[in-house]
Amino acid sequence: MLKRAFDIVFAACLVLLLLPILLIFALAVALTSPGGAFFAQERVGRGGRSFRLLKFRTMRPGSEALGQLTIGGRDPRITGVGYFLRKTKLDELPQLWNVLVGDMSVVGPRPEVPKYVALYSPEQRAVLSVRPGITGMASIHYIDENELLARAADPEKAYVEVVMPAKLVLDLKYVKERSLWLDLRIILATVAKVFGGWGR
């Protein structure tokens, strides 16, 4: 209950604080390429329940049909504004709404699409025992995941056989050790990591 209360207060405060910036980003996305400001994708949350994860739209319409993995920061499907939003991780901000309605937490395992959750072992499915998060231990460690996959000969195979299992190890560690104090440390580490990468 304490974690849920923290999530609601934290997300609500951020939405109120960032509302003008969120509106500017939404207009920038909508006015610079067709397809609207937001992108909703089916993800798997706590208890295996599906929900619609929100992001600022960073890719051209129909891009998901060409593959669900984004390969490299310069994936040709990504729009100009979308590149900036992805680079700075600001495309994730609409997920504050997912937190407010209870689909997600501020901190937790990143939610996967059903295609990849179907590959989880029974042990790995323990990550579904908690609400997924906007950020988490695996999110910090693999903040440059797109660039990592871009260097692989077979990105899909590299993700399924190497990256996803490694992320799940970190997510399972979080599930076992989770606490409000750990959440605060992960939030601070995320801010430091994101701001540290803005100059690259």
Question: Could you read off the pLDDT tens digit of each residue along the chain, which spans 200 residues?
Answer: 899 999 999 999 999 999 999 999 999 999 998 889 999 999 999 999 999 999 999 888 766 655 556 565 567 788 889 888 988 889 999 999 999 999 999 999 999 999 999 999 999 999 999 999 999 999 999 988 888 888 888 889 999 999 999 999 999 999 999 999 999 999 999 999 888 765 45
Phi, psi (degrees; rounded to nearest 5) at 42: -70, 125
Answering whether pTM is above 0.85, one says yes
| Beta strand ranges found along 11-169 (DSSP E) | 38-44, 50-56, 105-107, 133-135
Report, in angstroms and rounded to the nearest whole number, the Rg of the chain calculated over CA atoms. Answer: 16
Q: Are 32 and 56 in contact (CB under 8 A)?
A: no
Running DSSP on this structure, what letter comes out for residue 161? I
Strand 50-56 versus strand 38-44 pairing type: antiparallel
